[in-house]
Structures are given as C-alpha cells and as structure tokens.
Amino acid sequence: MAPKDVYDVTIIGGGPVGLYAAYYAGFRALRVKIIDSLAELGGQVTALYPEKMIRDVAGFPGILGKDLVRNLAEQAFQYKPVIGLSEQVQELTVTGDKEIRLLTDKGEHFTRVVLITAGIGMFTPRKLPLPEADRFEGKGLFYWVKHLEEFRGKRILVVGGGDSAVDWVLGLLSVAKEITLVHRRDVFRAHEDSVRKMMDSSARIKTFHEVKSILGRDAITGAVIFNNKTGQEETVSVDTVVACLGFLATLGPLETWGLELDGRSVKVNFRMETNRPGIYAAGDMASYPGKVKLIATGFGEAATAVNNAAAYINPKSTVFPGHSTEKKQS
C-alpha cells in the first residue's frame, strides 16, 4: 500500500481569501492543497460577480472581480498548490497526532491543518416571488451578471437595495440603454459612496416600489411595478430584469464537523483557531466579535491563520516570519 500523502495545509474554499491563504502558506514553505465544490477558482466572485467592479481591496481604486481572481491565482500558483475542483468535502475526522482526514465525493485527503475559507457556504439566490419568474429565468430574468456584453443596449429593471443592486446599476450604465431601479424602502444597504454615485447617475430610482408582475410571452417586454405606500401601479418597458435579493446560504456537511458555530459562521479566536485543534477559519466563514465582512479583512485573517498554523505544525517555527521584503524569493 502506498504511503499516505499528508499535506501541511488543506484549504476548503478557493475564493479570494482561500487563494491568498494558499499564497501565504507557500510563502511559509508549507505544502498546500485547495479543495472547492465549484468548477472554477474564485468562489462567489467568479460564480456571480466576474464583471463587478470591486473597490474595497487595498491598492486597487477599482478592479473587476475576474481580474482580482486571476491576480490572486497567479500569486498563489508560484508555490504550486494542488487544486481539487468540483469536489465537496463531506466528512472531517482526526486520524492521528496533527493528522486530519477529509472525505470528499471524489476520494480522501490527509492534512496536518485545515483552513476553512468557504465564504458564505453553499448558496443559492433568493428568487423573485412571482408565479411567472421561473418561466423567464435565463430568458431576460437574471439573479446576477456574468457578462456585461449580454446586457448591451437593453432596458434594464434592477430590483433591490443592497450593494449588489447598487453596484450593478453603476456597472451596467456603460452598456445599458436605460436602467430603472426599484427598492421597497428609501434606505439602501449599500455603501454610501455607491448610493451617492447611483443617485447622481442617469438611472431612474423608484423607492417604495416593488414588482407586481413581469410581462411578455417568449421574452420580457415590460414589468408592472407598484408603490407600496399608495398602491399606485405603473408599467415600465424593459427587456431585462436583474433581481438582487440576496442569497440563501447553508453550511452543508460542515455542520457535522464538531465546530462551534455562530449562525452560519464558524467561531474563531484571535489566532483564527476554531474549537478543534488544527482547524482554522478565515474570511466570511469566520466569526468573532466586531467582525467586518470584507475581502480585505479576509486577507488579513488568512495570513493570521497561516502563520499560526505554521507554528502549530512545527512549534520551532515563529508565528511572524518577517516581511516579504526581507525574504529571498525563489
């Protein structure tokens, strides 16, 4: 029987935080494996927001999601991590001193440390609660934007009041013929600067409005919206509806791994350690008092987790290895 190949760090989740963790673990001379249930690296950014402009990553006034993922992958790949895509981790068991076995739907993996960077977990978009919604899905009704060019010259109705809705109004302005946004309240949950830019744009903003129905047979020709204060209805001519209503997320098998949870997140301490030795979490999946869920926050958490994991694997290692400018690059 061939000996087990035990990696130093196995990262569950190949989104931006997982990719940065892979880079940093390589920087610490650790053997790394990434396992992700999706078919591409980049997590939610690749799956839902490749064309979305991300503005809260240090050093980039603005960068498209797909470009950020590409840069992070290039940064991580210099240390040659092993990548397992379209593979879901189902079971986690401790099999020995500083040895963990991960069983996936494709096989088993052995590692000294697990770092969970699975974002919000397994997610599906909240659907527009209309009887005709399923009929138009993919035929003019979308829950995210993957390719801007698909929306060129379209009359677009955006539904929602969070970051995604506001960001897509701003992102689609360059290609759309016209944009209307409807939001059931007059308070937006998006970043203040983004809301200000949207209000100053050519988009038509309809607060206290909701969608009553989508019109059309084989394609969308319009939508009926109504004022939820007065009940007054209005028909708007649109070709496309982009509904940004958030996501339904579940932890899936992770709930059975014996980790202390905080809702749909994993509790960690200041070292990014969970309640189980050798298991760490970073990014949106990690929870602690005062947590701010930003990609930028996740990058720092990934470095903290990896540095503490390096000392856990080898107690002779220091938690802080020095700055990258002090290292000789191979």
Domain spans of the chain, in order of start: 6-123+248-326, 127-245
Q: Among 9-23, 67-81, 143-157, name the one with the lowest average pLDDT.
A: 143-157
Amino acid at 54: I
The mean pLDDT of 171-178, rounded to a whole number, is 94
**Dihedral over alpha carbons 296, 298, 301, 305 (to 10 degrees):** -140
What average pLDDT does the segment 124-150 reach? 90
Position 246 scores a pLDDT of: 85
Q: How confident is the model at residue 249 (pLDDT cuts 50, 70, 90)?
A: confident
What integer pLDDT is reported at residue 330 of this predicted model?
47
Q: 161, 188 in Cβ contact below 8 A?
A: yes
First to last CA, the chain: 35
Write out the CATH class of domain 6-123+248-326: alpha beta
The reported pLDDT for the residue numbered 125 is 83
- Residue 235 reports pLDDT greater than 50: yes
Please determine, for residue 318, whether its predicted confidence score (pLDDT) is greater than 80: yes
Q: What is the pLDDT of residue 90?
A: 95
CATH superfamily of 127-245: FAD/NAD(P)-binding domain (3.50.50.60)
Report the Cα 18 to chain-centroid distance in Å: 11
Q: Per-residue pLDDT averaged across 5-14, rounded?
A: 96
**pLDDT value for 1:** 46
pTM for the model stands at: 0.79
At residue 327 the predicted structure's pLDDT band, cuts being 50, 70 and 90, is low
Is the pLDDT score of 17 beyond 60?
Answer: yes
Q: What is the pLDDT of residues 44-87, one digit of tens each?
A: 888 878 888 888 899 999 999 999 999 999 999 999 999 999 99
The pLDDT value recorded for residue 144 is 85
In angstroms, the CA 246 to CA 199 distance is: 21
Q: Do domains 6-123+248-326 and 127-245 have the same CATH topology?
A: yes
Counting residues of the chain whose pLDDT is more than 90, the rounded percentage is 78
Q: Mean pLDDT across the stretch 102-111?
A: 95
Using an 8 Å Cβ cutoff, are 237 and 223 in contact?
no
Amino acid 326: pLDDT: 67
Q: What is the mean pLDDT of the chain?
A: 92
